[in-house]
């Protein structure tokens, strides 16, 4: 029933940064959903296979990505999320592993539903709720099982952090899952200073400031995706994207 509900919600979605549903079979179990995919795989793998344009590793054979290109990709995710926000669609698992990359660094959001199997270390079982991506989740989603567009804004900032670190480490890599849970409780009780993700190397201050705004305790203090998209578009104004031939 949950699968059918999710599919019915996804079918009307039509935006260039949202991976579309190509077909579905609901007549008998197991239910099947056919979604668009990409030859370049998911964004997490794509980032892992690249290095910063400014890298000075002498023997690195990995392809490079400029800072502008990273922001360009993040802006596309923000555009897709703005569309979902406008359509009151709540995406509960936004992360680089759930975005796909096409030609010319085109990025689409695609909650493929397979991430729990492919990336089991990114999930932690919460009582009565199954496996949850707690390192990407807003504190109120972890503690109160409360989801909103503003809780997804929190996840977007973690995704942006992943992009700017080339997904080289898991968010809060130095913390156990239990410590991540404790950190969420600090937000809940407003006692002490919670641990936040550090500013990525090469990340401009104003972009990191945006991340921190997205991690505000109060949902109302976090920006909307409309505001985030507008901000990133401005940051990307000078970027000239070179299409592949």
Domain assignment of residue 243, yes or no: no
At residue 245, the pLDDT reads 39
User: What string of pLDDT tens digits covers the 245 residues of the chain?
Assistant: 556 666 666 667 889 999 877 777 777 777 677 777 787 899 999 999 999 987 766 556 778 999 999 999 999 999 999 999 999 999 999 999 999 999 999 999 987 666 778 899 999 999 999 999 999 999 999 999 999 999 999 999 999 999 999 999 999 999 999 999 999 999 999 888 999 999 999 999 999 999 999 999 999 999 999 999 999 999 998 787 766 53
Residues 235-242: contacts with CB under 8 Å, at least 24 apart: 235/71, 235/75, 235/204, 235/206, 235/207, 236/68, 236/71, 236/72, 236/75, 238/68, 239/66, 239/68, 239/69, 239/71, 239/72, 240/68, 241/69, 241/72, 241/104, 241/105
Structural domain containing residue 6: 2-235
Domain assignment of residue 25, yes or no: yes
Residues 45, 108, 113, 143: is their CA dihedral positive or negative?
positive
- The CATH number linked to 17 is 1.10.510.10
Q: Considering all CA atoms of the chain, what is the largest pairwise distance in Å, rounded to the nearest integer?
A: 56
Q: How many domains does the chain have?
A: 1
Domain assignment of residue 71, yes or no: yes
Domain assignment of residue 126, yes or no: yes
Is 93 annotated in the active site?
Answer: yes
Domain assignment of residue 242, yes or no: no
Domain assignment of residue 55, yes or no: yes
Domain assignment of residue 240, yes or no: no
Among residues 93, 89, 186, the alpha carbon closest in space to that of 136 is found at 93
Active-site residue identified among 42, 93, 111, 122: 93
At residue 40, the pLDDT reads 86
At residue 180, the pLDDT reads 98
């Amino acid at each position: 029933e949950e699968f059918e509900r999710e599919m019915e919600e996804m079918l009307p979605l039509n935006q260039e940064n949202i991976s579309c549903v190509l077909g579905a079979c609901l007549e008998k179990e197991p239910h099947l959903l056919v979604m668009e995919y990409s030859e370049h795989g998911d964004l997490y793998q794509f980032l892992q296979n690249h290095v910063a344009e400014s890298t000075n590793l002498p023997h690195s054979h990995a392809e490079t990505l400029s800072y502008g290109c990273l922001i360009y990709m993040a802006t596309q995710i923000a555009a897709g999320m703005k569309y979902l926000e406008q359509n009151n669609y709540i995406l509960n698992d936004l992360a680089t592993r759930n975005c796909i990359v096409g030609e010319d660094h085109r990025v689409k959001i695609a909650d493929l539903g397979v991430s729990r199997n492919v990336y089991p270390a990114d999930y932690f079982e919460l009582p009565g709720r199954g496996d949850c991506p707690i390192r990407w989740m807003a504190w109120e989603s972890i503690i109160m099982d409360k989801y909103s567009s503003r809780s997804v804004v929190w996840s977007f900032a973690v995704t942006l952090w992943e992009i700017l670190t080339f997904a080289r480490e898991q968010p809060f890599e130095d913390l156990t899952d239990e410590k991540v849970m404790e950190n969420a409780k600090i937000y809940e009780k407003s006692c002490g200073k919670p641990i936040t993700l550090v500013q990525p190397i090469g990340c401009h201050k104003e972009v990191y400031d945006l991340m921190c705004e997205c991690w505000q305790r109060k949902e109302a203090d976090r920006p909307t995706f409309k505001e985030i998209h507008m901000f990133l578009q401005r940051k990307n104004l000078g970027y000239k994207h070179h299409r592949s031939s």
